[in-house]
């Protein structure tokens, strides 16, 4: 008999294929992405429409601060929470059902499992995030066109903001994977996601000046806002450094997942 040797690249393809089958087999994947798209587009449209309606009575200061590109992403909050839940479900659902034991039996190198999940979820959420971001932008500009406030992607900072919004959604999914691996419970991971994305910036924002901005610019939500906005707020990082802050959250979350998953029983 001739022994069959499985090469490392072949093994990696098998693990990636397995994680892809798991992700697309979950009905929650499609429901979460649909919810994110509807929430981002509908809220963005309503906010943009409201601003277009108020435009004739807006003060000069409000008009000067108006950002037609960033205005359309007002509904991104619910979308980012949905993407974070998707990332958490990618790992926590296996702990809930006990499938994680079968996964680790088939792939003893646990970090390879996390790497495959991060790659598959990352590709799916990045593509979906960018599609949602572009759709949200164009929907919002349609609402703003009633007062001729709409801009195109050629507007300074517009394309960068749209691409950043899609990237941010993928980052929240990666953070979700990290939290799901560490906590190993879907509800707990989503609760932690709410704390990181929404509660922490709110608490820091209540600090006295200048601590609110000095510390706040390192929070995930605030850094993402500066990455998307045409003009960063005073005291916060510009788009480039804010991008690094956002990316660091994904890197830290996945690194924590890689460490924890090898030190616990399934």
d(CA 172, CA 2): 47
140, 72 Cβ separation under 8 angstroms? yes
Query: Which residues fall within 8 angstroms of residue 173, CB to CB, at 6 or more apart?
Result: 83, 84, 86, 87, 90, 121, 122, 125
**What pLDDT sits at residue 265?**
66
- Smallest Cα–Cα separation from 104: which of 178, 168, 193, 15? 15
**What pLDDT sits at residue 6?**
40
- Smallest Cα–Cα separation from 136: which of 39, 4, 31? 39
Give residue-wise pLDDT tens across range 119-154.
999 999 999 999 999 999 999 999 999 888 888 999
**What pLDDT sits at residue 115?**
93
What's the Cα-to-Cα distance from 26 to each of 22, 32, 84, 143, 171, rounded to whole Å?
7, 10, 15, 35, 20
d(CA 69, CA 53): 17
Give residue-wise pLDDT tens across range 6-48.
455 557 888 899 899 989 888 889 999 999 999 999 999 999 9
Sites in the chain below the pLDDT cut of 70? 1-10, 265-266
């Amino acid at each position: 008999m001739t022994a069959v040797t499985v090469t490392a690249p072949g093994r990696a393809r098998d693990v990636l294929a397995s994680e892809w089958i798991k992700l697309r087999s979950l009905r929650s994947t499609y429901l979460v992405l649909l919810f994110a798209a509807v929430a981002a587009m509908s809220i963005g449209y309503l906010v943009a429409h409201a601003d277009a309606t108020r435009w004739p009575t807006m003060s000069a200061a409000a008009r000067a601060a108006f950002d037609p590109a960033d205005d359309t992403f007002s509904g991104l909050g619910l979308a980012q929470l949905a993407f974070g839940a998707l990332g958490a479900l990618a790992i926590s659902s296996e702990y809930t059902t006990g499938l994680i034991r079968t996964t680790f039996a088939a792939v003893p190198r646990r970090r390879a499992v996390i790497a495959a999940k991060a790659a598959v979820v990352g590709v799916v959420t990045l593509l979906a995030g960018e599609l949602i971001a572009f759709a949200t932008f164009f929907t919002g500009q349609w609402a703003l066109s009633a007062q001729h406030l709409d801009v195109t992607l050629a507007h300074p900072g517009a394309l960068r903001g749209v691409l950043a919004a899609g990237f941010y959604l993928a980052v929240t999914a990666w953070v979700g994977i990290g939290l799901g691996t560490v906590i190993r419970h879907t509800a707990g991971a989503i609760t932690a996601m709410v704390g990181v994305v929404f509660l922490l910036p709110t608490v820091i924002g209540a600090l006295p000046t200048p601590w609110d901005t000095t510390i706040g610019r390192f929070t995930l939500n605030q850094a993402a806002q500066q990455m998307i906005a045409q003009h960063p707020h005073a005291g916060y990082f510009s788009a480039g450094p804010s991008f690094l802050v956002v990316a660091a959250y994904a890197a830290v979350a996945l690194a924590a997942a890689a460490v924890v998953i090898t030190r616990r029983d399934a």
